[in-house]
Amino acid sequence: MVTLTIDGQRIQAEEGTTLLEAARDHNIYIPTLCVNEAVSPYGACRLCLVEVTKKERQRLVASCLYFVEEGLIVRTDSERIALIRGMIIELLLARCPKAGEVQELAKRLGVRESRFRVEDENNLCVLCALCTRVCQEVVGQSAISLVNPGTDREVAIPFYDNSDACIACGSCAYICPTEAIKLEDVGDTRIITMPNCRLEFKLKQCPKCGTYWAPEKQLEYMIKKANISPKVFDLCPDCRE
């Protein structure tokens, strides 16, 4: 265990705990947009910046990536942090003015409007990379990635075309904090709509009840990964004994 101070509160935390986790364990609020416990931290949004003082040297760090240390002094709410966070949320508001999660955060941080120009008012992608991380780390595929540098950065599948690696599981849509990726099952088809492409996959029909219940590609992937008999997925879960 290490002892540190966050916002004047002396706390203890296990080694290997991030500052964000330690703060949350003690009900200290730090805003975040790119963190989800299902995947490893990445440091994309920078909203979680905090000020740390160590050996009388002060610096700003991303609390989702920085681990607790003995004697560390942490400030989560200084004027400097409020200024930087305000700027970041204004940039996010200009990038994704209609994203509910961004609007909520702006409200909570007391930011009403952005001084920056809106380029595309329908853009919902905050480039948090949660979708790419869940695809790689949880599903075990790398069907999508963040491509292009600078202002052209975006989420994409290879060559902006149908991705062979995508198994249609929809994990990217479930984890996306802003609904920039959408999933819809229509009849026998699963449609995944990403910021710049649309993918369609065939759903398997249950021979007993007729329901289209899971993407064929996802079932094939599971059969191969777990080395199980295809017969396991003959019927939908409701019609299995």
Shortest CB 44 distance to ligand FES, Å: 5
Distance CA 44, CA 220 (A): 33
Is residue 175 within 8 Å of 128, Cβ to Cβ?
Answer: no
Convert residues 29-68 into a mask of x (bound to ligand FES by CB under 6 A) and - (unbound): ---xxxx-------xxxxxx-------------x-x----
Window contacting ligand SF4 (CB under 6 A); options: 14-22, 57-65, 70-78, 172-180: 172-180
Shortest CB 176 distance to ligand SF4, Å: 3
Q: Does residue 48 interact with ligand SF4 by CB under 6 A?
A: no
Distance CA 59, CA 61 (A): 7
Convert residues 87-126 into a mask of x (bound to ligand SF4 by CB under 6 A) and - (unbound): --------------------------------------xx
Number of residues that bind ligand SF4 (CB under 6 A): 12
In terms of CB distance, is 48 or 124 closer to ligand FES?
48
Please report the sign of the dihedral spanned by the C-alpha atoms of residue 130, residue 177, residue 31, residue 17: negative
Is residue 215 within 8 Å of 167, Cβ to Cβ?
Answer: yes
Q: Which does 178 bind (CB under 5 to 8 A by kind): ligand FES, ligand SF4, none?
A: ligand SF4
Pick from 185, 214, 224, 188: nearest CA to 234: 214
Is residue 85 within 8 Å of 55, Cβ to Cβ?
Answer: no
Distance CA 20, CA 48 (A): 8
Which residues of this chain interact with ligand FES, rule CB under 6 A?
32-35, 43-48, 62, 64
